[in-house]
Amino acid sequence: VLHSPLSRLDPTVLEVLRLGAYQLLAMRSVPAYAAVSQAVEQAREAAGDGAAALVNAVLRNLRAAGDGPARFPDAAADPLGFLETWGSHPRWLLERWLARWPLDEVRALVEANNRRPETYLVPLEVEPAEAIRILAAAGLEAEAVGEGTACVRLAEGVSPRDALAVLPRAIVQDPAAHLVTRYADVPEGTKVADLCAAPGGKALPVAHRSAYTLAADRSATRLRMLRDNARRTGRFLGLVVADALRPPLRGVDVVLLDVPCTGTGTLQRRPDARWRLRPAALEALVRVQGRMLDAAAELLPPGGLLVYSTCSLEPEENEIQLEAFLARHAEFSVEPTGAVPGQYLDAFGRLLVLPQRTGFDGAFAARLRRAA
Ligand SMILES: C[S@@+](CC[C@H](N)C(=O)[O-])C[C@H]1O[C@@H](n2cnc3c(N)ncnc32)[C@H](O)[C@@H]1O
């Protein structure tokens, strides 16, 4: 409802407008007249009478428009403009997604990203039904997610801290991330190295089946989180601060490589991330991921298993990255598994979880077997 670009506005006045708009449209506890008059006074104090008049006009207009998309580009006439503004997503990301999916699917993704995220627990030692009984006995409501995820969804208002207090051998994790672990299908009794392990979402569940799990990460701070999670869940793993580009290891059967990525599959949980992400960051990450894959491949003996995963939706980090790896490493091939329901697998036996189809986060993973 402003007639000049936001960039021309005094930054303090812009903040006042933002706070006022938030109070008017989202914070039902503040009466509209109070929100407007408070903002007008703040603008007057910060930038004088002209700013006060502007804030008054803009907020009154905004209030008249209501909290729907009335003042936004029309969804039918200008779908990209609508998704960019009303949907609050950068145009470059939308354009990438529109090149791959039909408009209604991109719209579903934008809506999924703007929904309040659910909180899920993965019980490590009991079935979801038993976890739900334990939580209920403590007055904490939860329900099974089903669909092969082995997760439970906490009811709105149930704090994960309270849930972990009665069910310590569990981790807080989205079903998409847990599907990666299930898809990895690490054989029992193997020696596993997780090269990007912190805070342990994959390493902790795997540690239960493996003979030994080494959890490595470049970040000591994040490894400390993993150590705390290991203590709570009663898991034994080796911890090492190490660079996945130069892993100081030998003699493992399985390598997990849950690489740093753009995280475009988890935008629902990180509302600011979409606006901080830049195309150049994608390019840089793709290069690092490729080098990490090469380093991980070096570690594995014939017959070894490499599990590559991301929480990105971008093909450069997923399918294209993988095809480039397989072109460089003819000794590896994708090995499908029946450990997750077929609805999460693509035609090549790779894991693909999409927020717009599942309501979960997004995830991609590939099991890569080195020829014996
Ligand atoms: C996607 S997160 C891993 C999440 C973890 N696997 C889980 O499920 O909880 C990526 C991790 O890679 C680590 N990382 C980034 N660059 C690295 C590098 N060069 N070597 C080792 N770890 C790195 C980050 O510190 C971060 O913890």
Our mutation pick for probing the ligand 1 site, out of 181, 206, 217, counting the most ligand atoms within 8 A of Cβ, is 217
With a 6 A CB cut-off, is 243 part of the ligand 1 pocket?
Answer: yes
Contact 307, 257 (CB under 8 A): yes
Taking the C-alpha atoms of residue 341 and residue 343, their distance in angstroms, rounded to an integer, is: 5
Peptide bond into 301 cis (omega under 30): no
3-state DSSP assignment of residue 43: helix
Centre of ligand 1 from the C-alpha of residue 216, in Å: 8
Contact 289, 323 (CB under 8 A): no
With cut-offs at 50, 70 and 90, classify the pLDDT of residue 26.
confident
Taking the C-alpha atoms of residue 34 and residue 54, their distance in angstroms, rounded to an integer, is: 17
User: Which residue, chain included where needed, has tokens 């450990």?
Assistant: 339
Digit-coded pLDDT (tens) for 183-237: 999 999 999 999 999 999 999 999 988 999 999 999 999 999 999 999 999 999 9
Contact 24, 36 (CB under 8 A): yes
What is residue 35's DSSP assignment? Answer: H
With cut-offs at 50, 70 and 90, classify the pLDDT of residue 4.
confident
Answer yes or no: is pLDDT of 27 > 90.
no
3-state DSSP assignment of residue 118: coil
Q: Which atom of ligand 1 is nearest to the CA of 243?
A: 20
Please tell me the predicted confidence (pLDDT) of residue 250: 86
Q: Which atom of ligand 1 is nearest to the CA of 263?
A: 1
Taking the C-alpha atoms of residue 123 and residue 234, their distance in angstroms, rounded to an integer, is: 12
Please tell me the predicted confidence (pLDDT) of residue 197: 98
Residue 362 has a CB neighbour count (10 Å cut-off) of 28
Q: What percent of the chain has pLDDT over 70?
A: 100
Strands 170-172 and 120-123: antiparallel
Taking the C-alpha atoms of residue 224 and residue 220, their distance in angstroms, rounded to an integer, is: 6
**Which of 12, 86, 88 is closest to 44 using CA atoms?**
12
The secondary structure element, H or E, covering residue 119 is: none
Taking the C-alpha atoms of residue 363 and residue 309, their distance in angstroms, rounded to an integer, is: 7
User: Which residue, chain included where needed, has tokens 């006439």?
Assistant: 77
| Type of residue at 358 | T
Our mutation pick for probing the ligand 1 site, out of 172, 183, 194, 196, counting the most ligand atoms within 8 A of Cβ, is 196
Span 285-308, mean pLDDT? Answer: 97
Please tell me the predicted confidence (pLDDT) of residue 323: 98
- What residues are labeled active site? 311
Q: Which atom of ligand 1 is nearest to the CA of 219?
A: 25
Answer yes or no: is pLDDT of 1 > 90.
no
With a 6 A CB cut-off, is 226 part of the ligand 1 pocket?
Answer: no
Digit-coded pLDDT (tens) for 100-132: 999 999 999 999 999 999 999 999 999 999 999
Taking the C-alpha atoms of residue 8 and residue 17, their distance in angstroms, rounded to an integer, is: 14
pTM of the model: 0.93
With a 6 A CB cut-off, is 241 part of the ligand 1 pocket?
Answer: no
User: Which residue, chain included where needed, has tokens 């991301």?
Assistant: 310
In degrees, to the nearest 5, what angle opens at C-alpha 109 toward C-alphas 108 and 112? 85
Digit-coded pLDDT (tens) for 301-336: 999 999 999 999 999 999 999 999 999 999 999 999
Contact 177, 150 (CB under 8 A): no
Taking the C-alpha atoms of residue 217 and residue 210, their distance in angstroms, rounded to an integer, is: 19
With a 6 A CB cut-off, is 55 part of the ligand 1 pocket?
Answer: no
Signed CA dihedral, 26, 95, 356, 270: sign only: negative
Centre of ligand 1 from the C-alpha of residue 243, in Å: 9
Contact 311, 353 (CB under 8 A): no
Q: Which atom of ligand 1 is nearest to the CA of 260?
A: 10
Digit-coded pLDDT (tens) for 153-191: 999 999 999 999 999 999 999 999 999 999 999 999 999
In degrees, to the nearest 5, what angle opens at C-alpha 353 toward C-alphas 208 and 151? 45
Centre of ligand 1 from the C-alpha of residue 222, in Å: 9
Contacting residues for 149 by C-beta, under 8 A, at least 6 apart:
175, 178, 179, 182, 360
Answer yes or no: is pLDDT of 299 > 90.
yes
Report which protein residue has its CA nearest ligand 1's atom 25.
219
Please tell me the predicted confidence (pLDDT) of residue 102: 98
Kindly list the distances between the CA atom of residue 248 and the CA atoms of 107, 190, 224, 240, in Å, as whole numbers in the listed order.
45, 18, 19, 9
With cut-offs at 50, 70 and 90, classify the pLDDT of residue 66.
confident
Contact 225, 163 (CB under 8 A): no
Q: What's the whole-number average pLDDT of the chain?
A: 96
Answer yes or no: is pLDDT of 28 > 90.
no
Contact 154, 171 (CB under 8 A): no
Centre of ligand 1 from the C-alpha of residue 230, in Å: 17
Digit-coded pLDDT (tens) for 77-107: 999 999 999 999 999 999 999 999 999 999 9
With cut-offs at 50, 70 and 90, classify the pLDDT of residue 2.
confident
Q: How far is CA 134 from the centre of its chain?
A: 28
Q: Which atom of ligand 1 is nearest to the CA of 199?
A: 9
Phi-psi label, residue 147: left if phi above 0, alpha if psi -120 to 50, beta otherwise? left
Report which protein residue has its CA nearest ligand 1's atom 15.
260
With cut-offs at 50, 70 and 90, classify the pLDDT of residue 49.
very high
With a 6 A CB cut-off, is 201 part of the ligand 1 pocket?
Answer: yes
Centre of ligand 1 from the C-alpha of residue 218, in Å: 7
Strands 332-334 and 363-370: antiparallel
Please tell me the predicted confidence (pLDDT) of residue 25: 87
Q: What percent of the chain has pLDDT over 90?
A: 91
* CA end-to-end distance (rounded Å), the chain: 65
Centre of ligand 1 from the C-alpha of residue 345, in Å: 24
